[in-house]
Homo-oligomer: A and B are copies of this chain.
Amino acid sequence: MKLQLALFSSLFLNAYFYFCLFLHHHHHQPPPSLGWTGSAAREAEAVAAIDCSGHGRAYLDGVLDGGGLPVCECNKCYYGSDCSRLLHDCPADVDSGDAMFLEAYWQQRAASSAVVVSGWHRMSYFTDGKDDLTIELEKHIRILHQAVGNAVTDGKFIVFGAGSAQLINALVYALSPSNASSSPASVVASAPYYPFYKEQTNLFATRAYGWRGTTSDLANASVSSATNFIELVTSPNNPDGQFKQPVLGTSAVIVDYAYYWPHYSPILDPADEDVMLFSISKISGHAGSRFGWAVIKDEGVYERTTNYLSLNTMGVSRDTHLRALKLIKVMIAEKGGEGDIFEFGYRTLKARWSKLHELVSSSSRFSLQQHSAQHCNYFGAIRDPSPAYAWLKCEWKEDEDCHEALRKGSIISRAGALFEADSHYTRLSLVKTQDDFDLLLKRMQPLVSQEAMASS
């Protein structure tokens, strides 16, 4: 009887094991083991697993350490093999508009945002679309604008650029007179404006266009009515976050909508200008991918723009087309849900602005630009301010050079003079890493307290 029971048990166990080994697998359909992608996938996972203490990250193409793995690339002021050490007396660097505050968003969405580039991916000069575009990417850019409600793209042309940087000059060229006998177009902007406009236009000026200065300079000069103007407008504005309109009624206008996304700005009506610029650097945070686009109404302007782009760089890296498509697909899919990047961006920047605002308000040494809560069509609700930059004013007479005053307090900002504004102003970037922002607050604290001592 015992023997029989033992045999019965053993047979049952056999049946069970047999089931586990040969049937169970089929039932649960485990993922088929990977073929040619396996080694690249494991390599990427190994690098992603490198511990950089939350103050850095390792990249697949980073410099290798002794063990053959890429080193951690640390946030500013952090160092050590795992970025765990904080440098003493390190200045807060809030100069650039590097939107690294979105890095955490993508790290949390590793699976959905990864992309495998095969060795033979889009090797050709030719894509499936016209003028070096890929059809799916162009389509998803239109879907993104529709989903966010920030721009009308129907019936308009789209061109891709290596960031909006490349497109600014391409559009200036396209809007300039093609007739060699015409006088050159005057490229202008209203202060304070993004300094890159002037630097770039000055470097690339041709017989057809040149930088003319600010629109307020023009008011004081005698301007021929025959002059062609190309007015550059950023809205919301860099540096001060205000909505802007062109001020020269008749001129050709390029509107840079880099910041017209719900992270930074309330979405009012969808923009419907003739020439509009967008950059993925401020939408998803991927400045390093060098990808932006223009939305163009006029076919002639579109054709001159694509001609410029084909003779400049023959289009944008198709590797980046692939990656941008994936990122945009994720942003569209997550829209309105828990993983909404616009919600994430808004929450992060609102918190930063509110902390900085509180600190600065406790002082009469500094002031910030005014922003009020406003209704946003995207969120369908009133939203608080969450600008990309603080446009800081030094109110003290002795702080006439505000950038320099901050520099003495170990804060690297972008001087107002670069924006052709009063030197009492300087720009603080609020879009960099959390470490950069935390250090900014830490360095601001004593500057505010100094005042307290001075006035007490």
Please tell me how many copies of the chain the complex holds.
2
Query: Nearest Cβ distance between residue A224 and chain B, in whole angstroms?
Result: 21
Please report whether the interface of chain A is mostly helix, strand, loop or mixed according to DSSP.
helix
| A379 CA to B204 CA, complexed, in Å | 44
Q: Check B36 against A128 for contact (C-beta < 8 Å).
A: no
Q: Check A121 against B59 for contact (C-beta < 8 Å).
A: yes
Given contacts A61-B325, A128-B63, A290-B313, contact A123 B136 (CB under 8 A): no
Interface residues on A, range: 35 or more
| A122 CA to B281 CA, complexed, in Å | 12
A104-130 interface with B by 8 A CB criterion: 106-107, 109-128
Instruction: Point out the residues of chain B lying under 8 angstroms from A291, CB to CB.
Output: 317
Given contacts A313-B165, A313-B166, contact A40 B320 (CB under 8 A): no
Given contacts A10-B7, A312-B312, A318-B288, contact A60 B116 (CB under 8 A): yes
A307 contacts chain B at the CB level, 8 A cutoff: yes
A80-138 interface with B by 8 A CB criterion: 96, 98-100, 102-103, 106-107, 109-128, 134-137
A311 contacts chain B at the CB level, 8 A cutoff: yes
**What would 18 more interface pairs be, CB under 8 Å, given A17-B21, A61-B122, A123-B286?**
A10-B11, A21-B21, A31-B33, A31-B34, A39-B112, A41-B116, A59-B121, A59-B322, A100-B124, A102-B123, A114-B116, A115-B117, A117-B323, A121-B288, A127-B288, A173-B203, A205-B207, A317-B317
- A residues near B, CB below 8 A? 3-4, 6-7, 10-11, 13-14, 17-18, 20-21, 30-45, 48, 57, 59-64, 73, 96, 98-100, 102-103, 106-107, 109-128, 134-137, 162-163, 165-166, 169, 173, 196, 199-200, 203-207, 281, 285-291, 307-308, 311-323, 325-327, 330
